[in-house]
Structure 1
Amino acid sequence: MSGESQEHGNPTVPETRSVEGDTRRQIMLMLLKHGPSTASELAGRLDMSAAGVRRHLDILVAEGLGEAVDRRPRSAAATRGRPAKVFRLTPRGRSIFGHSYDQLAVDALETLRETGGEEAVRKLARKRIQRIVEGVTPADGDENSIQRTAGELADAFDRHGYAATVTRAGAGIQICQHHCPVANVAAEHPELCEAEHEIISNLVGLHVQPLATITGGHGICTTNIPLTPIENLPEERSGS
């Protein structure tokens, strides 16, 4: 079980290679399975002391993985005395156990491809990226407007989790995405990346050049927007 938290790559997960880490994860698993529980209830399920469980619960709360709430009394008689304190996982704590959203998206796109063909997948990819860049002002042909549109595109991508930046690079502008929230899905369905390049090209009014992709193992997606068209070089003179 010690390798499970490592698999999800969350640096906030308690170190599960230690005995304490294993115990803490067992407590989290009990909270996931049984819902809000008191320290005593957890202690009974795990054959531990309530004091030992509370120490682990305090750590989970401090790390934002768990939270303490008052248990609602079941009867009027139960209102006497202090309300029982129960613990539950936060959304962050639940995320430690992973989600299957990526696989769900891949399966959905595979089904869409089978039922509607390649064009159906492209249509979905275009619809997705159009929603992301909604409101971006198309360039009107001059360099300043192209730079403005590139900046708006980077801002739009950034708002949707791409950690995007825009820089001037030689005779062009580069939009760099330092993270891709759909990288695992795009690796199976490159139509998602193709739709991004298509919409960038349409909005800046120029042919763009994908220089690097996260799905290709580069760690960054870089799209170059050449501001100066590449002209054919004159033929070399004979004997030169």
Structure 2
Amino acid sequence: MSAATLAPAGAERTKTRLLEFVKRHGPQTAQDLAQRLDVSVPAARRHLCDLQDQGLLEARTERPGGRGRPQHVFALTDRGEAAFPKTYSSLCVDVLRHIEGLFGAGAVLKVLDARNAEIADRLRTDLPAGLPLGERVQILVQRLNEHGFDATAAQDDQGRWVFTQRNCPNLTVARQYAQLCSAEITLYTEVLGVPVMRDTRIACGQACCHYRVG
């Protein structure tokens, strides 16, 4: 979701303006935001609560200028920051293109494999082999959601675990470098300790990435 994709009318327009103001000027109090947006303080608080519920803002207690009485301010979360346009994906594509040009196509996969090895090391703590497979799948899905994949897990009619990613945070890169998706399968197979198969892929124009486990 981006700030620009919020509904353009009424309350949603006010929420968009609120997010944009916090982005430009940093953490703000409800009173400051109400004054800037020309709405009542209770109305500003309602919008702030809605944006907190969406994970776009967080409340903090700060001292203005490092001194004075503490006050409650509202700041963008990582998800809120991600709501605004970034050039990270185009930068990543450029870097991978240069790696491929300098060292060959195989070098891209080596880079992605090295990255996945580092991620796998971090995940092993959360996914010990002694846990039942279903618990490991659900923990993996939780970790994916922390990184914006909008994932869910369930068991199919045969009792086999499946999981779905309804968003691809790396879509721009994945569309140009299929190696990213290949490395992803390798990572999931390694951390779950069983084969993982992908049936559909967002990078190929399908609605989601759907995986069968085991």
- TM-score strictly above 0.5: yes
Give the TM-score of the pair, scaled to structure 2: 0.61
Aligned pair 1:117/2:104, yes or no?
A: yes
Aligned to 2:59: 67
> Out of 121, 138, 141, which is 1:158 matched to?
141
Larger helix proportion of the pair:
2
**Alignment check: 8 A CA contact 1:66 1:93 kept:** no
Q: Percent identity among equivalent residues?
A: 20
Flag the 1:18–1:213 CA change in 2: closer, same or farther, 3 A: closer
- Aligned counterpart in structure 2 of residue 189 of structure 1, from 177, 180, 184: 177
SS of equivalent to 1:194 = helix
Code of the aligned partner of 2:104 = G
Deviations 1:83-119 (A, max 9, x none): 4846332315444335444344333322322333211
CA contact (8 A) 1:174 1:222 kept: no
Aligned to 2:19: 28
Alpha-carbon distance in 2 for matches of 1:166, 1:124: 32
Name the SS for the 2:11 alignment partner: helix
Deviation at 1:166, TM superposition (A): 7.9
Query: What amino acid sits opposite 1:67 in the alignment?
Result: A
Larger radius of gyration: 1
Shift of 1:121: 0.5
Describe the shift of the 1:193–1:176 C-alpha distance in structure 2 as closer, same or farther (beyond 3 A).
farther
Distance 2:40 2:202 in 1: 42
Distance 1:152 1:213, change over 3 A: farther
- Give the structure-1-normalised TM-score: 0.56
State the secondary structure of the residue aligned to 2:8. coil
Deviation at 1:182, TM superposition (A): 4.7
Q: Residue 215 of structure 1: SS of its match in structure 2?
A: helix
> Which residue is 1:5 aligned to?
3
Unaligned runs of 5+ in 2: none
Q: Kindly indicate whether residue 93 of structure 2 is the aligned counterpart of residue 106 of structure 1.
A: yes
Q: CA deviation at 1:178?
A: 0.5
Structure 1: runs of 5 or more not aligned: 8-14, 139-147, 226-240
Q: SS of the counterpart of 2:64?
A: coil
Which letter maps to 1:90?
Answer: L
Pick from 119, 126, 130: which aligns with 2:113? 126
CA contact (8 A) 2:2 2:85 kept: no
RMSD over aligned Cα atoms? 4.4
Aligned residues: 192
Partner of 1:11: none
Corresponding residue for residue 211 of structure 1: 199
Report if aligned partners of 2:33, 2:44 keep a CA contact under 8 Å in 1.
no
Q: Give deviations 1:213-240, integer Å, cap 9, x for gaps.
A: 2322152333576xxxxxxxxxxxxxxx
CA deviations 1:104-140 (Å, max 9, x no partner) are: 43333223223332111110222233344455899xx
Aligned residues of 2:89 and 2:170 also touching (Cα < 8 A): no
Q: Report if aligned partners of 2:164, 2:210 keep a CA contact under 8 Å in 1.
A: yes
